[in-house]
Structure 1
């Protein structure tokens, strides 16, 4: 699979992640965000585990245990950090800091630990995309930059960047389906205590069941399977930049499904996100960068 094909797989995965906001908005009002995150991983992990068992692709031989546990812990940590950041400092700032910081942190980690210096094209396209993300969330709500919330959002960004980096190191040697099945099953186990802390009565409603299945199967299982497949030919920093398509998709779904309004600033942000991601995909240097 070539670099551009892998890039589109990751881009599609990010678009599937972008459906989570709309799904949560349509979920029962009694559903706590952290309980939704825990249920999302539980359903997604179970779905992937069943899928890998049915297809007979589960193999536990020669797996790097430390890397698997590390990736699982990062993914499990991302959920409460992100939702707590959004709750503490608001959707706009929490999302921008968490999702916007992830590409930068990923690029710096690659540079420091893998001695792989991101290209100028990557810095340029990532910068445009992050500016687009900032504009997309501008004027969404009154700004309340809570320091604790910002730290939590940075922790979420670091968790996602670290998950991507670790998964990239495993993806080339093992089945993508086996990788995500094992990682998300462990992640769900790590977050299982939250299922005992928060009220889960909302799951018994029709809306709750539909929301849980959509979040678990589509926005987690299918999305991260595509993400893992794409990682085999795309660098972690590039993959995390493509993930900025998530807030763009969420905004467009909010506009089309939830009838939310988008002002000229938000549309400018969407335009910049499309330009930034497009430059990264179609750049002649993309093949070298993703090899």
Structure 2
């Protein structure tokens, strides 16, 4: 009974990360400076990463220099850059739908890298999640920008690969240190590219500043720490299913704060997504129990 309770707490804590990321779309489009997706992505990660690293006073050793360079680039730098390009060029729902392919990609990466052969049910759950997000957020008026769609799908693939590699390599330090390293690397990778392509932000309002603080502290620092903790405690595929919660939150926020329409069919989409998340968690739990029993 204790194991079940601990596992439930791990799932709930990890779920807080995509719930927080679900607010990114409204914050990016309503409260941040326009036309600077890459620079916004860098400034979301770099300041909080530097502050944490300076406070914790610990740097990578040996092989972990290049591993952190790769992980920080995948999980933070490249992913955040692609995420904000999608968020600026697409309605939040369309971006979320394209990104919802991530669980299916993580199942594939886990099979190739971690030798975790997926069950048919886990594949069905991943496909159902993708369909559910589409039902939830897509409508006849959805604006499909090809660059935005590519960015959202590529971002899902990059983050999916990063998630599996975190599981493969096992962090050698505390959760906060591990998170801080990746935030610094991701921000540094993006910053020069953003400045060359987009130039500096010439004006920052109080609202913009508060939005940056929220995204840095809560939407990045806390959320990524919970996400990496979840990868430690759960299977990589189980963590990826929880990412489907993000578009659900984004849709609800759009309805509550932006007066966006909410139809009965979207309730069906929410039900499909939540069922996919449940099946994904249940399938992973059963496979873990089976593996331990065989050992």
Q: TM-score by structure 1 length?
A: 0.85
Gaps of 5+ in 2: none
1:182 lines up with 2:186 in the alignment: no
Matches within 5 A, 1:137-286: 137-139=137-139, 141-144=141-144, 146=146, 148-193=147-192, 194-195=194-195, 197-203=198-204, 205-282=205-282, 285=286
Tell me if the contact between 1:280 and 1:286 (Cα under 8 Å) persists in the aligned partners: no
Q: CA shift at 1:149, angstroms?
A: 4.4
Residue in structure 2 matching 1:25, options 20, 23, 29: 29
Residue in structure 1 matching 2:49, options 34, 45, 51: 45
Are residues 122 and 172 of structure 1, via their aligned partners in 2, closer, same or farther at CA, if it must alter by over 3 Å? Answer: farther
Q: CA shift at 1:12, angstroms?
A: 1.0
Gaps of 5+ in 1: none
Q: CA shift at 1:143, angstroms?
A: 4.7
Q: CA shift at 1:181, angstroms?
A: 0.5
CA deviation vs aligned residue, 1:195-242 (integer Å, no higher than 9, x gap) = 463342343x11011100011110100000001111112122221111
Give distance in 2, aligned partners of 1:240 and 1:35: 26
Spell out structure 1 runs of 4+ moving beyond 6 A: none
Give distance in 1, aligned partners of 2:264 and 2:55: 43
Are residues 27 and 287 of structure 1, via their aligned partners in 2, closer, same or farther at CA, if it must alter by over 3 Å? Answer: same
CA deviation vs aligned residue, 1:179-200 (integer Å, no higher than 9, x gap) = 1100111111111111463342
Q: CA shift at 1:84, angstroms?
A: 3.1
Q: CA shift at 1:28, angstroms?
A: 4.5
Are residues 266 and 43 of structure 1, via their aligned partners in 2, closer, same or farther at CA, if it must alter by over 3 Å? Answer: farther
Give distance in 2, aligned partners of 1:217 and 1:76: 17
Task: Give the 3-state SS of the residue equivalent to 1:240 in structure 2.
Answer: helix
Q: TM-score by structure 2 length?
A: 0.84
Are residues 101 and 280 of structure 1, via their aligned partners in 2, closer, same or farther at CA, if it must alter by over 3 Å? Answer: closer
Instruction: Give the stretch that moved more between structures: 88-97 or 257-266.
Output: 88-97
CA deviation vs aligned residue, 1:113-160 (integer Å, no higher than 9, x gap) = 2211123342233222211111112117345363x5444333211111
| Partner of residue 72, structure 2 | 72
Give distance in 1, aligned partners of 2:252 and 2:12: 19
Tell me if the contact between 1:103 and 1:241 (Cα under 8 Å) persists in the aligned partners: yes
CA RMSD of aligned residues (A): 2.7
Instruction: Give the stretch that moved more between structures: 253-262 or 230-239.
Output: 253-262
Tell me if the contact between 1:92 and 1:141 (Cα under 8 Å) persists in the aligned partners: no
CA deviation vs aligned residue, 1:4-29 (integer Å, no higher than 9, x gap) = 33222221111111111222233155
Tell me if the contact between 1:82 and 1:153 (Cα under 8 Å) persists in the aligned partners: yes
Instruction: Give the stretch that moved more between structures: 31-40 or 184-193.
Output: 31-40
Tell me if the contact between 1:3 and 1:290 (Cα under 8 Å) persists in the aligned partners: no
Instruction: Count residues in correspondence.
Output: 284
Tell me if the contact between 1:93 and 1:145 (Cα under 8 Å) persists in the aligned partners: no
